[in-house]
Structure formats: C-alpha cells, structure tokens
Amino acid sequence: MRIGVLASGGGSNLQALIDHFRLVSSGRGAVAFVASNREDAGALVRARDAGIRAATVASPGDGDALLGLLRDAGVELVVLAGYLKHVPLAVVRAYHGRMLNVHPALLPSFGGAGMFGTRVHAAVIAHGAALTGVTVHFVNEEFDRGAIVAQWPVAVREDDSAETLAARVLRTEHRLLPLCVEGVAAGEITLGDDGRVHGVPDRLRPDFLDLLR
C-alpha cells in the first residue's frame, strides 16, 4: 500500500515509518509521499534524503488541493505524524478508514484542541498522572476522537520534566506507529462499518498485568 505522511515538524515519526517499511516490513507498504504545511520542516528534508516525493501544502485548509496532492501521488493510506493543521473534511471523508494519527497521550485524556507538543506532557505532569502513553487512532471529523487502534503506556517518573517525558513518549511513538500502520496497510486492521476497529493483534493489546512484578 502507498503511504502518504503529513508532518509539520522534525519528522522523527516519519523517519521511523520510512525505516520500518524499508528495513523491517518491506513487502507490506512503502512511504511514497510526504507533505508539510511548513516548507522548512525537517520532515521534508528527511523525505528528500530518502528519495521520497515531497511537497509543501501551500493552503492546508484547501481540501481539494490537498486531495489532489495525495491522489497525484497515488496515496492509499494517510498518516498524520505530528501534523499540526486541521485536515479538511473532504480529505477526512475521502480517506475514511485509511487515515491514521498518532497522539502523545492516552486519548481521550490530554487531547483535543491545543493539546500538542510539550503542552501535552506539561499537563500530564501538572495533573500528577502516574501513567501517560501513546495513542494511534483513525482520523474522523472530530479532532483526536477517531476510533482507537492501539495505545501503549509510558510511566511518568517523579523527576520528569515535560521534555524528559516527551522524549520517552516520542520513542514509544516510533515503535507503536509503524506497527499500527503496517497492520492497516496489510488489511489486517480495519475500521468496521460499526465504527469499531477490528483485527488488532494481541501484541498491540497485550495483557499488561503480565509485566507487573
């Protein structure tokens, strides 16, 4: 499946996807297109270094333009990897069940408008949460509220700052996102007509109790 990635930042999640489909799971998908709303985004540099078609989204709010970019590149599955713009409805609808987002917290907690970057982790720490984590979900019309594919826990440490916590959560994103994208690209993980996610393997929904010692 041809994967298109939208990113606004440095692109470490994009890099994790590129590496995963080139080195770990080459037969089940490939990052074929990268776009950013910022022409100076590190994600575009990573794409070009990897020989992947890259573009700047001049007007992120223009659904027809974005849809044209994705379709011209033959994108079948869209991944929002640190994309900070709202995806126009026309694009969300065109890619229903074929658009994923990664969020650096356990949605629905610490999500929604304004919850991105270190603000998320600062809020987690301010609330004294013992556990945060990563959420990968299908994108629907409500920001950060699409059907959840997988979540993975990250413990909050007593001496954590928003930055140290962000770094551990980001490393977890790099591991969880590619596995979720691979499952959807391979047709194993699907968004059913019932609005629920089907086919998530046990390794992405383990019995965490087994890890409690």
Contacts with ligand GRF by CB under 6 A lie at 7, 9-13, 43, 81-82, 102, 104, 117, 170, 173
Q: How far is the CB of 187 from ligand GRF (least distance, A)?
A: 25
How far apart (Å, rounded) are the C-alpha atoms in residues 134 and 112? 14
Q: How far is the CB of 67 from ligand GRF (least distance, A)?
A: 23
Instruction: Considering the complex, state which of residue 12 and residue 37 has its C-beta at the smaller distance from ligand GRF.
Output: 12
Query: Which amino acid, 63?
Result: G
Of all residues in the shown chain, the one whose CB is closest to ligand GRF is: 82
Total number of residues shown for the chain? 213
> What is the side-by-side order of every strand in the sheet holding 2-6?
53-56, 30-36, 2-6, 77-80, 99-103, 131-138, 148-155
- Does residue 103 have an active-site annotation? yes
Q: Which of 20, 103, 121, 137 is catalytic?
A: 103
Assess contact for 44 and 8: CB atoms under 8 A: no
Q: How far is the CB of 83 from ligand GRF (least distance, A)?
A: 8
Tokens 């059907």 correspond to 147
Instruction: Considering the complex, state which of residue 81 and residue 202 has its C-beta at the smaller distance from ligand GRF.
Output: 81
Q: How far is the CB of 80 from ligand GRF (least distance, A)?
A: 8
Instruction: Considering the complex, state which of residue 97 and residue 117 has its C-beta at the smaller distance from ligand GRF.
Output: 117
Instruction: Considering the complex, state which of residue 9 and residue 178 has its C-beta at the smaller distance from ligand GRF.
Output: 9
Instruction: Considering the complex, state which of residue 117 and residue 199 has its C-beta at the smaller distance from ligand GRF.
Output: 117
Q: How far is the CB of 113 from ligand GRF (least distance, A)?
A: 15
Residues belonging to the active site: 103
